[in-house]
Amino acid sequence: MRLAVLASGTGSICKAIINADVEVAAVLVDRHCPAIEMAKAGDIPVLLVERDNFGTDFDRDQYSNDVVAALKEQEIGVVAMAGFGTILAAPFFEAYEGRVLNTHPSLLPSFPGWHAVNDALQHGVRVTGCTVHIATLEVDAGPILAQSPVEIRDDDDETSLHERIKLTERDLYPATIKACLAQMETQR
Ligand code: GRF
């Protein structure tokens, strides 16, 4: 099954997947971001499905269809979200049902959403972490595949804590993707 990674942010999780023993067939981005160079350095095709509208009239269904079309053209069977900055709509989750993986910087079901790291700090929890799960239309809610805890230190701020969470994500996510791909192959 051909794997695509979807990224928008600093791309460090994307890079960890590329550097792990996981074959990445394409990297899809919604904007110009460091993941593009990371993919090129690994000779991996880049699919730029540029999002040109961040307003309230953004056509999420149309954009999701464009993403699906770009992935299908590359015969992608499995998708790993790695800090992708656009929430995709039903056409995407229907096309790739059960075959979209995501990593989230909290121990779900605690702290879903964009501000997971800060929310954990604000709530004063002593332990947070990361969760790898199957992504569904409902954001940060699909079946959990793997989790790893991270202790919160007294002097942590959002940046320091997120960076330590990402250290665990960079191990756990590629390993879980690999295991999932192997399992999906046996089910074909
Ligand atoms: C990760 O913490 C991931 O869980 C979240 O976005 C972050 C991406 O990090 N969805 P990076 O941009 O790859 O460094």
Quote the pLDDT of residue 9: 85
Atom of ligand 1 at shortest distance to CA of 8?
A: 12
b/e sequence 90-124, b meaning 16+ C-beta within 10 Å: ebbbebbeebbbbbbbbbbeebbeeebbebbbeee
Residue 130, both tokens: 């990361």
Do 74 and 136 have their domain in common?
no
Number of domains in the chain: 2
Do 87 and 158 have their domain in common?
no
Residue 46, both tokens: 């880049």
Quote the pLDDT of residue 78: 98
Ligand 1 atom 7 nearest Cα = 83
pLDDT tens-digit series, residues 38-86: 999 999 999 999 999 999 999 999 999 999 999 999 999 999 999 999 9
Residue 117, both tokens: 């790291």
Atom of ligand 1 at shortest distance to CA of 103?
A: 4
Do 55 and 8 have their domain in common?
yes
Ligand 1 atom 8 nearest Cα = 83
Do 130 and 80 have their domain in common?
no
Domain that holds residue 41: 1-97
Q: Ligand 1 in contact with 9 (CB < 6 A)?
A: yes
Quote the pLDDT of residue 113: 95
Confidence class for position 7, pLDDT limits 50, 70, 90: very high
Quote the pLDDT of residue 185: 85
Quote the pLDDT of residue 114: 94
Spatial neighbors of 135 by CB under 8 A, at least 6 apart, are 81, 93, 100, 101, 102, 142
CATH of the domain at 83: 3.40.50.170
Q: Residue 188 pLDDT more than 80?
A: no
Q: Residue 10 pLDDT more than 90?
A: no
Do 3 and 92 have their domain in common?
yes
Do 89 and 147 have their domain in common?
no
Residues forming the active site: 104
- Which among 114, 163, 169 is the best mutation to test ligand 1's pocket, defined by most ligand atoms within 8 Å of the CB? 169
Do 114 and 152 have their domain in common?
yes
For residues 87 and 60, give the distance between their C-alpha atoms in angstroms, rounded to a whole number.
8
Q: Ligand 1 in contact with 82 (CB < 6 A)?
A: yes
pLDDT tens-digit series, residues 131-171: 999 999 999 999 999 999 999 999 999 999 999 999 999 99
Q: Closest Cα to residue 170, out of 34, 15, 16?
A: 16
Q: Report the share of the chain in percent with pLDDT over 70.
A: 100
Residue 161, both tokens: 């804590």
Distance 35 CA to ligand 1 centre (A): 12
Instruction: Give yes or no for a contact between 148 and 140, defined as CB atoms under 8 angstroms apart.
Output: no
Q: Which of 82, 97, 112 is the last residue of a domain?
A: 97
158-161 long-range contacts, CB within 8 A, separation 24+: 158/117, 158/118, 158/121, 161/117, 161/120, 161/121, 161/128
pLDDT tens-digit series, residues 78-127: 999 999 999 999 999 999 999 999 999 999 999 999 999 999 999 999 99
End-to-end CA distance of the chain: 9
Q: Ligand 1 in contact with 11 (CB < 6 A)?
A: yes
Q: Which of 97, 122, 140 is the last residue of a domain?
A: 97
Q: Ligand 1 in contact with 148 (CB < 6 A)?
A: no
